[in-house]
Amino acid sequence: MQIVETIILIISLLIVANIISHYFVSIPASLIQIAAGIIAALAINVKIVVNTEWFLLVFIAPILFNDGNRFPKKELWKLKGPIMGNAIILVIVSTIVGGAVVKWLVPSLPWATAFTLVAVLSPTDPIAVQSIAKKAKLPDKLMHLISGESLINDASGLICFKYAVAATVTGVFSLRSATIDFFYIAIVGALVGAVMIWIFNGVRLYLINQGVDDSILHAIIQILIPFIIYYVAEDIFGVSGVVAVVIAGIMNISSSRTTGAFSPEIRLVTSRTWDMLVYLLNGFVFVLLGIEIPFAMAELIHNQSMNTFKAVGFAFVIWVMLVVIRFVWSYFYSTFFERSDRVSFNFFSRARFYYCLMSGISGVRGAVTMVGVLSLPFVTKTGAAFPARTLLLFIASTVIIFSLLGATILIPLITKNTAPITYRGNSINTDDIDIDDEAEDTEVVDTTTDLDADAANKIVIEKTINKLRDENLDNRDPVYTTVIAEYVFNLHNIQIHSDGPNPISKTRIKGKKDAELWDICFNCELEAIEDLFEKNEISQDAYDTAVKRIEKYKRGLVRHSYNQSVEFFISYFRRTVKELTKIIHIPFTKKEEVVAYNREAIQISIAGSKRALEKLRELENTDGDGVYDNLLYLFERHYEERLELLQGKRRNRSEQFNIERVNLEVNALSYQRAFVQDLLEQGRISRATANTLRKNINYSEEVINYDIQ
């Protein structure tokens, strides 16, 4: 009962604090939450004892998994050098230098305890400055660097923290053993996370393949994933659960609308559920921090060697030290390792100075630091009290407050702009889900209507496709053809009773018409390959490889049909093996061979795509009876997109293209609403069916709005 009362109390304090934060937008909401916890501790003498065994599991696992899932993967790879430098080297340097400074400030602290404090202060909270990134004009590169760094330094910092705590508790520390163990638990932890998320991804896709598309069920599975992975990594394999959940988050199937296997409702419900969970977890951490501060201060007041004001001063010095170390490291790295001009050398640059200063101040400490420090054990192995646990808690919490205030005040001054600050979990989208009130109405279904929801949805999509085609006069506008292709994919899958909006595939033939068109296209590609070889434009090896590939696909047209479940798992395993083969093969292949092979492969693919596209357009002009219906358009778009990719045209798709695409998608949804209303007024669908269709349209629109935040 005490646990339930505690949860209710903290949630109540969190709600009150966040209501107040809406009236004081210039004050970080985390500071208001801390204040709410302090007031509760002083007014009603609330004291909460934290169980360190489950604290990291409950808070760390979902927070880091969500961060990894949300971070843009391309930016993570592009900035891998500075990210790894900040996340590993900077953490180690900060721990060593910072530990020495802490030992100098508080000589009575054991060395292991001093390193414990600095290690737990290493993880940064990028969300704490993302809210001011646009208005304060922080460079995009800096924001991506801070976000990517936080994924890795959360892991490296908490591993260092774990060893420092172990050294304090046991009194034993071996640098050699710690180094070996560090790499072991990190590498094996990454493997555990990768394998387990591969399994979970397969299970989720299989459920969709089997028609299990309950949005609540998929949201619950998503929520459970990080907890299970963290537990398995830590308690079964004895490796880093932090690294495991970070890797799992990065490799998790994204909840964005680009993941065609999942419906808009599933993606939206899952995303909103994660927002709420992370929002609550972060709020819990800061309210708990506020509750702990008065008791830590009370103990410091009775401490003869350390008083509250002195501890606050030490915390300020430690925060300044962390900013300086981060600034120096950023300046050093950007000066010697990120120079575009290797000939000239300019040690001092005003622009670089301000960039690195912003980087130093942007290293805000937040929820992960608090989770770590609150998880400190109360006793050592000998049964003695953990050295200066109260002092460490107080200094860590004060450093967090200084870092929040520093970012709030100093970054706008440097960038000459102002904006409120948020943190992990408090950056939830402010747009409410706008679902028609009519969708919740219930009434008796009119049995005189002819169409159910699926049949009506098919008509609505067909009408929307025709409307978009009428607007696309030359039939070659890339924005229109892209959006129309999405609708044709959906319509095609509805017609063949598929369980998900999956695109056409060479390896999975869904119907007789698919097989006929693929056979025609494959023959065209073979003709193009023969022409290139006869003209001596490609080598014998390239010719043999291309022909074998096409023949393999042709054999697949008439192969024995597997059970649907068996076919799914075979396909999933093959895709995995193919990706692993690419990763393993490329580093051991000579660059010249790769370049030559890729050049010929591209040449073959371009020629085959052009020949197939010509044949498809010829069929479109002669298909007067509509034998292939929308399949011809679907195949044409498939080859058009392949050509765009091979010829580098997609690289030129600027942000303006994406904006126009989003606008057209929103317009298309408005067309769907109008067509639903037409069917309702014609009496062809019931009001309940209309409400169901409208709700699905609203989900789709909300997913679009959610992804562009």
505 contacts 574 by C-beta, under 8 angstroms: no
Which of 300, 315, 251, 234 is closest to 77 using CA atoms?
A: 251
**CA distances for 656 relative to 80, 364, 645, 647, 653, angstroms:** 27, 33, 18, 20, 8
At 225, the pLDDT band (50, 70, 90 cuts) reads: very high
Give the DSSP per-residue string, 47-90.
-----HHHHHHHHHHHHHHHHHHHS-HHHHHHTHHHHHIIIIIH
C-alpha–C-alpha distance, residues 639 and 525, integer Å: 11
What was the pLDDT predicted at 263?
Answer: 67
Single-letter amino acid code for the residue at 564: Q
At 318, the pLDDT band (50, 70, 90 cuts) reads: very high
pLDDT tens per residue across span 323-338: 999 888 888 887 777 6
Contacts of 601 by beta carbon, 8 Å cutoff, 6+ apart: 542, 545, 546
Out of 191-195, 262-266, 473-477, which region has the weakest mean confidence (pLDDT)?
A: 473-477
> Is it the case that residue 415 has pLDDT exceeding 60?
yes
What was the pLDDT predicted at 232?
Answer: 93
Q: What structural domains and CATH numbers belong to the chain? A: 2-337+349-380+391-415 (1.20.1530.20), 443-503+654-709 (1.20.1440), 514-651 (no CATH)
DSSP label at 511?
S
> Is it the case that residue 235 has pLDDT exceeding 80?
yes
427 contacts 131 by C-beta, under 8 angstroms: yes
C-alpha–C-alpha distance, residues 480 and 637, integer Å: 11
Give the DSSP per-residue string, 664-708.
HHHHHHHHHHHHHHHHHHTTSS-HHHHHHHHHHHHHHHHHHHHHT
465 contacts 491 by C-beta, under 8 angstroms: yes
Name the burial class of residue 58, with classes exposed (0-12), middle (13-18) and buried (19+) by CB atoms within 10 angstroms of its CB: middle
What was the pLDDT predicted at 241?
Answer: 85
pLDDT tens per residue across span 38-82: 888 888 877 776 666 677 788 878 888 888 887 766 666 777 777
Bridge partners, 385 (sequence order): 379
What pTM was computed for the model?
Answer: 0.67
What was the pLDDT predicted at 649?
Answer: 57
Q: Encode burial over 102-122: b for 16+ CB neighbours within 10 A, e otherwise.
A: bbebbeebeebbbbbbbbbbb
> Is it the case that residue 387 has pLDDT exceeding 80?
yes
> Is it the case that residue 487 has pLDDT exceeding 70?
yes
How distant is the alpha carbon of residue 543 from its chain centre?
41
What was the pLDDT predicted at 229?
Answer: 94
Count of H-run helices and E-run strands, the chain? 26, 0
State the sign of the Cα–Cα–Cα–Cα dihedral 158, 159, 164, 169: positive
C-alpha–C-alpha distance, residues 261 and 5, integer Å: 41
> Is it the case that residue 705 has pLDDT exceeding 50?
yes
SS3 302: coil
Contacts of 178 by beta carbon, 8 Å cutoff, 6+ apart: 163
> Is it the case that residue 185 has pLDDT exceeding 70?
yes
Length of the chain: 709
C-alpha–C-alpha distance, residues 223 and 207, integer Å: 16
Q: How many CB atoms lie within 10 A of CB 579?
A: 10
Residue 444, both tokens: 């008796």
At 213, the pLDDT band (50, 70, 90 cuts) reads: confident
pLDDT tens per residue across span 675-692: 888 888 777 888 888 888
**CA distances for 128 relative to 179, 329, 699, angstroms:** 32, 21, 29
At 304, the pLDDT band (50, 70, 90 cuts) reads: low
Mean of per-residue pLDDT scores for the chain? 75
Which of 158, 149, 237 is closest to 196 using CA atoms?
A: 237
What was the pLDDT predicted at 707?
Answer: 55
